[in-house]
Structure 1
Amino acid sequence: MKTAILGTWHVHTEEYTRAILANPQAEAAVIWDSDIPRGKAFAEKLGIPFTDDLDGILNDASIDSVVVCSATCDHPELLTKAANAGKNIFTEKVLTIGVEDAEKVAAAVKAAGKVFTISYPHRTFPTLRAAKALLDSGKLGTVTYARVRNVHNGSSADWLPPHFYDKAQCGGGAMIDLGAHPMYTLYWLLGEPKTITSTFTEVTHRGVEDNAVSVIEFANGAIGVSETGFVSECNPYTLEISGTDGAMMIHGESAQWGGKATGGKWVDLELPEKMQLPVDQWVDAVTNGTPSPFTIDEAVMLTRLMDGAYKSFESGTKFTF
């Protein structure tokens, strides 16, 4: 598959581009960016041609696929144009800032009938896949509660790029960026959201939240808590799931569970084999026809959750989906 990289704005652009370069089934043919100096510097670093002609890429029938790593505010235009041009699409989360834009992009993607994948890497982790399998097995009984905490020190240690604090480009701060992982994990585990309530604060005072929590009521009666932030040190990833017959916890790389089936004792959770990351699964889906992971409908759901989280915070009230 011959691939164009559209935008070099995101911090994961190099990771995805190198994955394409390393995959024998794919070719990183060209780089485009609306910021020409930034795009040229990135292209030179990785030894890939640069062009400022977006329409030229989209009209080039030999380029069948695109990786979209632009500013989130540019996603609606780029994703819609790429879909209308018949390209396979891999995109960084979130799909769009607003729900209306997400639905328009989804309509274009579905009409194109090409392979679409959004990057939900946490769902490939052995620990989280084991947690989902345990939940689905029924051994936890009726699941009543799940909490996901995913944080880093990007603001407090000052290593995030300045544009990650630009609300117009990003749609917000920590929640819409790093908080995407807890959000897509929670709806994967618990299903359709019903309401959401948010509390956000600014610890480093950069104009967007860097410390954030959203509490979600799900249609099945479960409660989910999405925690994120850019101001935490040495705080490992945490997932807790509680049910009427048992509970489980992931703390960093450690995964354990206990309940009626274990006689009330906590035991190690058996982990599956490591899975390919989403970008490599996307290449496999395009070239070999394997199922595409993390579909357009799931992408729209993440935007719905984020939209509700921010509307709740801005209004100071519970948001109902």
Structure 2
Amino acid sequence: MISFWHVHAKDYAEEAQVHPDIEIAAIWDENEERGRKEAQMREVEYISDLEDLLNRQEIEAVVVSSPTNRHKEVMVQAAQAGKHIFTEKVLASTEEQAIVILNAVKESGVKLFVSLPRVYDGYTEAVQRLIESGELGELTQTRVRLAHNGATANWLPNHFYNKEECQGGTLIDLGCHPVYLTRLFHGMPERVTAQFGYLTKKEVEDQAIVTFGYEDGSYGVAETGFVTPHSPFTIEIHGTKGSAIYGIPDKKLIKKVSEKWEEVMIPTDKPSPFSQWIDHIQTDKGTDKNLALALDLTVLMEAAYQAEKTKSEIVINPR
């Protein structure tokens, strides 16, 4: 385990502890006090030097939950040491850094998997099927919103508001989910704009809206925030023939393509990203789809922050 900086690090540690083929061998953390505490709780070794941990032959893979601004440094080292890598999103805060990581992974031949959990939830598959069926017609608008009250209720750790470590605020953390789902449903946009809010007066934004413009005239909206306790996770898909809505307010997907709203069956969730990563290691499967989406997420995040900073529209260059 490389760092317990991120709030999801403990979730990944729990997944590792219950997985029949995984054993936590050691922990390193840039915050030694935190790292030693986590190691003691799990009765595993704390290693104070990251290079020492990565040089251990018995360690085959690492989970990276370090500050976002250290992702490139840590993951390039891990890849060069021949360790498979599971990482918290985002892969990196800039496209340039993400490509450096991906090149190091490709050169070493290790398996890298980025935690994009809502991709594998059943409602996502159901929405994708509905779009691909053509039942809604041509897409005109998509909207995805995910928010909680981590800032106003003070349950997020203080370092989540450290701009240098996080490389942003709610958008680069919680906002990843609406952004990658928008990318999944609607494709890569042509243009990006963004607007941030600072309700709690912290160094980083606690609310954000990002809009994505497409060549065909349609648009997507991604919304997020750390300041709302009861905002439901919602997906809206609108087309020239109908609409589909998830999560307003129940965890149901409904569509309207005629006079009445109809419920759409939601399939079972796929295995968690962590479980899929282990399976990819054991079966030598490729992780290209996950990494392509993770790279697109970084591109869109970088564009959104640049758009808000410059108060302008950012054009996405096709790759």
Equivalent positions of 1:80-229 (< 5 A) are 80-229=76-225
Checking the alignment, whether the CA contact within 8 Å between 2:111 and 2:286 is kept in structure 1 is no
Q: Which amino acid aligns with 2:166?
A: C
Between the aligned residues of both structures, percent identity stands at: 37
The corresponding residue for 1:77 is 73
Please give the per-residue CA displacement for 1:166-208, whole angstroms capped at 9, x wherever unaligned. 0000011111110000011111111122111111010011111
Please give the per-residue CA displacement for 1:6-30, whole angstroms capped at 9, x wherever unaligned. 1110000000011011000111111
After superposition, the Cα gap between the structure-2 partners of 1:294 and 1:174, relative to the gap in structure 1 and judged at 3 Å, is farther
- Aligned partners of 1:195, 1:65: CA distance in 2, in Å? 38
Q: 2:46 pairs with 42, 46, 50, which one?
A: 50
Q: Which amino acid aligns with 1:227?
A: E
Q: Report the 3-state secondary structure (helix = DSSP H, G, I; strand = E; otherwise coil) of the residue aligned with 2:190.
A: strand
TM-score by length of structure 1 reads: 0.94
After superposition, the Cα gap between the structure-2 partners of 1:93 and 1:207, relative to the gap in structure 1 and judged at 3 Å, is same
Structure 1 unaligned blocks of 5 or more: none
1:274 aligns with 2:269: yes
TM-score by length of structure 2 reads: 0.95
Q: 1:257 pairs with 255, 258, 268, which one?
A: 255
Deviation of 1:37 after TM superposition, in Å, equals 0.7
Q: Which amino acid aligns with 2:149?
A: N
After superposition, the Cα gap between the structure-2 partners of 1:39 and 1:143, relative to the gap in structure 1 and judged at 3 Å, is same
Q: Which amino acid aligns with 2:263?
A: D
Q: Which amino acid aligns with 2:230?
A: C
1:231 aligns with 2:230: no
Q: Report the 3-state secondary structure (helix = DSSP H, G, I; strand = E; otherwise coil) of the residue aligned with 1:86.
A: coil
Q: Report the 3-state secondary structure (helix = DSSP H, G, I; strand = E; otherwise coil) of the residue aligned with 2:155.
A: coil
- Aligned partners of 1:167, 1:220: CA distance in 2, in Å? 36
Q: Report the 3-state secondary structure (helix = DSSP H, G, I; strand = E; otherwise coil) of the residue aligned with 1:28.
A: coil
Q: Which moved more, 1:137-146 or 1:15-24?
A: 137-146
The corresponding residue for 1:297 is 292
The corresponding residue for 1:307 is 302
The corresponding residue for 2:282 is 287
Deviation of 1:119 after TM superposition, in Å, equals 0.4
Equivalent positions of 1:12-51 (< 5 A) are 12-51=8-47
Deviation of 1:96 after TM superposition, in Å, equals 1.1
Q: Report the 3-state secondary structure (helix = DSSP H, G, I; strand = E; otherwise coil) of the residue aligned with 1:199.
A: strand
Q: CA RMSD in A?
A: 1.4
After superposition, the Cα gap between the structure-2 partners of 1:293 and 1:106, relative to the gap in structure 1 and judged at 3 Å, is closer
